[in-house]
Structure formats: structure tokens, C-alpha cells
Structure 1
Amino acid sequence: MPTKTYIHVVKKAAIAEHASLEVDLSILPTPGKGQVRVRSALFSITYNNLTYARMGSILKWWDAFPVPESLPAPYGDRSKYGIAPCWGWSEVLESKIDGIDVGMLLFGYLPLSGLPVDLQLVAGDAEGHMVDVSEQRKTLMPIYNRYIIRDPDMRLSELSPERVEDMGREAVYRPVWECGYLLNKFNLSDPFVHPAGHQGPPDQPWGKAQGDLSSAVLIILSAGGRTARSFLDGLVHNRDQKTGPLALLAITSTAIEAVVKSARFPMKVISYKAIPEPESMIWVAEHRPAKVVVVDFGGRSNSQADLAEALKRHLPTTDAFTVGVGNEPKADTLEETIAKLRRASVLPNRVQMNTGPIRDAMVEKMGAEAYFPMVNREWTSFVERGNMEDLRILWEERVEGESGIEGAWETICKGELPSDAAFVYKL
């Protein structure tokens, strides 16, 4: 058994500053009653991880996996340093819970680190689901405290290379896919759940008047990202044509030909530079929409302001509503991120989407035993339609150094990860 491992830490106030440190496993306490000790075994790193780091102080994501205070200065200061989270599979190393055995794999929220962590788990509301109820994680939304045992007999060391690759792709895509799925299925379709979940802020109403696409033209900013492509797949394949949209204007810097070919409604794809040009808004107006719905998956630079001005100039009497989903994938400080969100609010009637509360609202409405099997079926259909076939996985197996988590973090902070690629780690 190894006696040492590496931990990757990130400076909260400046997330491009990070380090990998060797630590002795003896710093870990003995797992207590009701706990399992797990290690991050198979997980992904994409630009999405930057969001967790940028907004970690506000949305409490840093609380999930605090740094050990025994780390050498300054890295043991929890007010200044944290362990960035990710999604994927953890492997059980020790268990003090009946029914959870050593070697089992749990899908959920994990630390980008080689240091094992202890989870305080209780049975959840659906078969195979467990919930972390530890004190430090009570500040997190429920979506981040849910762990799923997909198959109690599955062991990572016994899986075929093909199965491991499928699981790696799922670690990359599934969390952002659920966001796109919920947006199409429940925010922009009956029952028109508020994008913030439940009722949302009182000054940001949401219902059929805002979310119904049957008489709307839909405009998507950053239409080529994985969350947007997941949403577009549902829009094309998982929606009654009578529910709209009348047409779709996709603004992107990457190719999305497959969606264009399969769309059952008029669709136009333009670059960011083309937003101020009148032809695009003339095309929107030709469809005579009762309203325009904008979904902003993280438009680049000044695209929100350009689009707001174009709508105001060419469709001044048409109602418009905006759902904010993502941010531009950069290693910004919290202050820079907040400033960008404020600039993005120039888009009309903007509300911010949050996947976790929407899931919570639908679990409450449908029941967990209905919701999660439904989502599993839809995920399988998404995969079978070949949506992940063009994903290029960059496989790595260590924490430290250029080829480790350390190097991957440097790559995404510099914006150098190609749009068709994702890092997947099998530690």
C-alpha cells in the first residue's frame, strides 16, 4: 500500500495560481461510523471546472473538500486555498457502512486530488443513491451531495478498456448534459419551472409567458459548447414540434453541422462578428415571432451587448426574455466574473439558470423513483444518438507535473484546451 500521494491546491482569489504537493497518507484520520473513505479514481477536467473555482466562494463549492490544515504554509490556510471539485467515479477504500464494500464505485462530486476523502453517507431517496450529510457540506446544494452506486458489483480493475472509456466520456458530458436536458424539458416546456428552481426571485417571473417557444424565435449564444449541444439535442429529438421554436439562430465559434442537418425547424448559424449585421435580425423578424427567447451559454467578449443592441434596433416592439446558463471559460477572479455577469444582464429580462434547484423541484414534483430512471433513459438515448463520438479524450494518470492534474489545470487556465477535447484521469 502507498504511504504518500499528491494533492492539488488552488488559490481561491486567483485560480490560475496552483500547486501540487506530496503528502503523507498518515495525516488522514480513521474513518468513523457511517463513513466511507474514497479516492478519486476516474474523472474529467474541462473548462467547466473553472466555474466551480471562480464561483466557489459564493456557491460554497470550496466547502466540499477543504485543504488539510497540516499542509505547509501557505497552502494549509483554508481561507486562501482549496481543492477544486470535479465529476466522476470514486473508489471505496474503506467502509464503515453496511452494504457499501471496498472496491465499489460511486458516481458524484469528487476532489481534483490524489488524497482520499471521507464521506458521511446515508441512504438516499432512490435505489443506489446515497447522500453526504457531513457538517461541512450542509452549505452545498443537494445535487453535489448525491452519490450513485450504478452497479454494486462493478470494479474498476475488472472493466474492459471500452467500458472505462465510456465511463470517462460520461464523466465529461453527463453533468452538463443534465443541465441542457432540464432546460429543454422543464424550463422551456410545460411545467415551465423557473430557471432558478421552484418560484425563483420575485422580481424575475417565469412561466408560460416567458418559456413557451411555440410562437418564439430562439437565439443561442455559445451554441457549440457541450451544454448547448446537449440542449440542442433535446430541442431536436425530445420535443413535440408543435411546442416550437418557430426558428433558431445559433451564434457560435465552432461547427454544429450535425444539429443543423437534423433540425425540424428553420435554423441559421452565425459567428459572433455577424451579430451587429442586420441580416440576422431581419431573418429573425421574417418568422414573425410573438417573442424572442435568448439562451446565453457563455457568449464571448461583448456578444451580449451586441445582441441586446441588435434586438433593440431591429425588433423594438417584440418581447424578449433571456436565460443565462454559463460563463465565458476563463480563469477570472470572482470580481471579474461578477462584473461579466453584470454586463451580461444587458440582455432583456435575464434570469440565471441553476441546474441543482431545477432538479430538486422536479424530484419534489415527480418523486425520485420516477425522476432518476427517466433521466437515465434520456441519457442513454442521447449517447445512442452519437453525441459523444467526436469527443477527444486526453488520458492521464497522475496528479503532479505537466502530464498530471497540475498540467491540465494550467492548460484550462490558459484557454489552451481544444474545444473538441477533455482531460480524463484514471488514477
Structure 2
Amino acid sequence: MSELQSFLINREEFADTRWEDTEVPSPGEGQVLLAIDSFALTANNITYAAFGDALQYWAFFPAPASRGILPVWGFAEVVESNCKGIETGERFYGFYPLASHLLVEPAQVSATSFTDHAEHRRPLPLIYNQYLRSSADALYEEGKEALQMLLRPLFTTSFLLDDFFADQAMFGAKNLHLTSASSKTAIGMAFCLQNNRANRDLDYEIIGLTSARNQAFVESLGCYDRVVSYDQVDAIDNTQPSAIVDFAGDGTLLRQLHSQLAPELRYSCMVGASHWDQRAGAGPGLDGPEPIMFFAPHQAEKRVGEWGGEEFQRRLSGQWRAFCAFANGWMEVDERHGREAIERTYAEVLGGDFSPRSGYVLSKLSCQ
């Protein structure tokens, strides 16, 4: 069997990376070894690094001191199983390390999924510890794995953001300002806000903020009511009650938006860090309400508790399929293979050097 290959990132300097090759672990009693087949790499993964300490993303897959293993969403196959109910050759979707293999300790094994009950993962959010059996996953479609890897985790956040804002009656805002409007999570939220508006007794406008370079693309999507480039922020209407949903993580931009919108700013929500290297620019003492970090698992747990797991999945599934049909019209899947491709793609995503239409799917480190 091949070595366990792990892509290690300097937790203080994300551009500093290296590979580590170690012996592939053998599963003990009750354990399963998964070979990671393919995974997506998006700006969302950089957000995991940017908030790796604050939101414990580095804790999922332990690494040597000062290093971290980036979490990714993808598919893996069982290569060895010492766990009843999980067979060699089965395929699972879930939260994996950017590595060739993952050793798990399955618990709550069912016809559809299992939860990794490894000791270091038990205190971490359940949504990241659950692995879905492809043969029984309601959202799985053979031949559409790329879309699932690229969009499912992002769209789940989009779905939960839309639900969170609707649950709070948009915090009284009439204008919703989404930064990094070309990012896939922002697009997903805008799609949900647009798609669900007719069924809500709420009056709101969806405003996308983006770079001049991406403005034409964002306008072409049709899910934003209005698109504004970053160099036009000072001219944004500040007479209407408003909210900010910050996917960019650019501190200077966030300060500028707060300053412009403060008189009627009702809520400021931080989600991502597309501009991770500029996230410190806001500093203390922003005008208006203090930004609050949105943590998707909290909203998911709230709704599962209120609706039940089956109803939660039903609602998510309906909007997911509609969004996939929408995304097919503009997204371009770029499949790449091997270590060098992973290094190159990571550098491109880290630097923001890619088209908003692009979706990167990477494989395959493991040789079973």
C-alpha cells in the first residue's frame, strides 16, 4: 500500500507548505481506513485556514506543531474495515484532510451514514464528523460528484444563511449587502434569497458587492437585484435599513461599509475570508453594530432540533437541486490530478488567482 501523504500548511504563513509522507495506519478493532479519492478546493477551504484556531478547524486532523492539515470536502473509499456495518469498497462523502488516507472510528453506523467517534473529534461540531454513504445519500447523483464536492458544503452554508436571516425577519433590513458576490457561497445565498422571496412577507433588495473585474459576471447571474463594484461603496444608499453579509473578510472594506451604512445598519454578519490576507484591516471601533461571526453548524443544529433531521434534509434537498440546475449554466469544472496539481491549485486559490466560474476538483493521492 502507498504511504500516507499529507499536505501541511504553516498556520502563521499559509503560503508555506510541504508534504509529509508517513506509514499508512492499520485499522484496529472498530476502525476503518479510507483512501481519499477526490476533493474540491475552493476559497471556502482558505476560510477554514483563516479561522483555523478561532473555529477549531485545525483540530479535526492533527498535524505537527505549527502546521495544519487543511480540511476539504470529497469522496473516499473503504480500503480496510474492522467495523461491523461498513464494508471494503464502500464510498463515503464527507469532511477529509488534504491527504491520501484517513483512519476513522465509526459510531452510530446506519444505512445512510456513520459518525467519526475518534476521541479528538468528539467535542467538534457533528456536521463535520458525519460521513454519508453514497449508495444511500438522498443528495447523491452518480456522474455529478464534482458538483457535490464543489457546491454542497458551500450551498449548505448558503441555505443556512438564508434561513437565519429569514428567521430574524432580515433584522429589519431592506437592503442586504453581500460582499465577494462572485464567491460561490455568496451566489448560493443570493439564489436562496431570490428563490424564496415570493413565499415571504418580507421586502428586501439583494445587493452584490464585487470587484470591477468580476462585475459583469456577477450581473450575468441574475440572482442579485443590483451589483456594485468596490470602488462605488461610498455612493451606496445609506437611507434604508441595511445589513452586511461579509464573505470577503477584507477588513478595510468592512470598515468602509460600516462607515457608509452606519446610520441605518441593523446587522453585520461575517461569514468567509476570500481576502484572508486583509482580514485584520477593520480594527477596533467600527461604526454601527459589532460584526458577528456566522457559524453554520449552530443554525443547522437549531433547525434539526426544531424540524427533525428528515425535514431538514428534505428542505435542503429541494433547494440544492434547484441550485445545481442554476450552477450548471455558468460553472466550469476543472479536474486536476496529483501532488504538483494540488500545490499549484492551492497557490491559485490562496492568491485569488482564478475565474469565479472555475471549480477545482483534485485527485488522486492514494494508490489502493
TM-score by length of 2: 0.88
Q: Match for residue 8 of structure 1?
A: 7
Q: Match for residue 397 of structure 1?
A: 337
The answer on 1:211 being equivalent to 2:171 is yes
Matches within 5 A, 1:280-319: 280-281=236-237, 285=239, 289=240, 291-298=241-248, 300=250, 302-312=252-262, 316=263, 318=264
Distance 1:13 1:139 in 2: 24
1:22, distance to aligned residue in structure 2 (A): 4.0
Q: Match for residue 289 of structure 2?
A: 348
Contact 1:87 1:108 in 2 (8 A): yes
1:109, distance to aligned residue in structure 2 (A): 0.4
Q: Match for residue 39 of structure 2?
A: 43
1:45, distance to aligned residue in structure 2 (A): 0.9
The answer on 1:357 being equivalent to 2:298 is yes
1:272–1:34: structure 2 CA closer, same or farther, 3 Å change rule? same
3-state SS of paired residue (2:190): helix
Q: Match for residue 377 of structure 1?
A: 318
Matches within 5 A, 1:123-272: 123=108, 128-151=112-135, 163-164=142-143, 166-185=144-163, 187-190=164-167, 192=168, 208=169, 211-212=171-172, 216-240=174-198, 242-253=200-211, 254=214, 255-260=217-222, 267-272=225-230
Distance 2:327 2:192 in 1: 11
1:18, distance to aligned residue in structure 2 (A): 0.5
Provide the alpha-carbon RMSD of the alignment: 2.7
Distance 2:149 2:285 in 1: 29
Distance 1:303 1:375 in 2: 32
Distance 2:285 2:247 in 1: 11
Q: Which one of 341, 357, 360 corresponds to residue 420 of structure 1?
A: 357
1:325–1:29: structure 2 CA closer, same or farther, 3 Å change rule? closer
Q: Which one of 343, 346, 349 corresponds to residue 406 of structure 1?
A: 343
Distance 1:340 1:145 in 2: 33
Contact 2:111 2:136 in 1 (8 A): no
Q: Please say which of residues 137-146 and 36-45 is displaced more in the overlay.
A: 137-146
Deviations 1:222-263 (A, max 9, x none): 222111110111111123354333323321122223443x66
Q: Which one of 224, 231, 234 corresponds to residue 273 of structure 1?
A: 231
Deviations 1:90-133 (A, max 9, x none): 1111112222111111111011112x221111126x85121111
3-state SS of paired residue (1:188): helix
Distance 1:245 1:352 in 2: 24
Q: Match for residue 269 of structure 2?
A: 323
Distance 2:58 2:355 in 1: 27
1:269 maps to amino acid: V
> Structure 2: 5+ residue runs without aligned partners?
none
1:319–1:304: structure 2 CA closer, same or farther, 3 Å change rule? closer
1:134 maps to amino acid: A
1:79–1:232: structure 2 CA closer, same or farther, 3 Å change rule? same
2:226 maps to amino acid: K
Aligned-residue identity in percent? 23
Distance 1:345 1:8 in 2: 37
Contact 1:304 1:346 in 2 (8 A): no
1:383 maps to amino acid: C
2:29 maps to amino acid: K
1:319–1:425: structure 2 CA closer, same or farther, 3 Å change rule? closer
Deviations 1:115-174 (A, max 9, x none): x221111126x8512111111112422121111113159xxxxx9xx944x211211111
Contact 2:255 2:282 in 1 (8 A): no
3-state SS of paired residue (1:37): strand
TM-score by length of 1: 0.76
Contact 2:32 2:106 in 1 (8 A): yes
1:295 maps to amino acid: V
1:145 maps to amino acid: N
Distance 1:379 1:105 in 2: 21
The answer on 1:122 being equivalent to 2:107 is yes
1:64, distance to aligned residue in structure 2 (A): 1.7
1:343, distance to aligned residue in structure 2 (A): 5.7
Contact 2:254 2:282 in 1 (8 A): no
1:329, distance to aligned residue in structure 2 (A): 3.3
Distance 1:48 1:240 in 2: 29
Distance 1:273 1:242 in 2: 33
Contact 1:189 1:212 in 2 (8 A): no
Distance 1:324 1:268 in 2: 21
Distance 1:396 1:259 in 2: 26
3-state SS of paired residue (1:189): helix
1:36, distance to aligned residue in structure 2 (A): 1.1
3-state SS of paired residue (1:423): strand
The answer on 1:56 being equivalent to 2:47 is no
Q: Match for residue 387 of structure 1?
A: 327
Distance 1:239 1:246 in 2: 8
1:311–1:58: structure 2 CA closer, same or farther, 3 Å change rule? closer
Contact 1:60 1:139 in 2 (8 A): no
Structure having the higher Rg: 1
3-state SS of paired residue (1:151): helix
Distance 1:181 1:169 in 2: 16
The answer on 1:84 being equivalent to 2:76 is no
Q: Match for residue 19 of structure 1?
A: 18
Contact 1:11 1:18 in 2 (8 A): yes
Distance 2:7 2:185 in 1: 26
Q: Please say which of residues 100-109 and 239-248 is displaced more in the overlay.
A: 239-248
Distance 2:335 2:193 in 1: 31
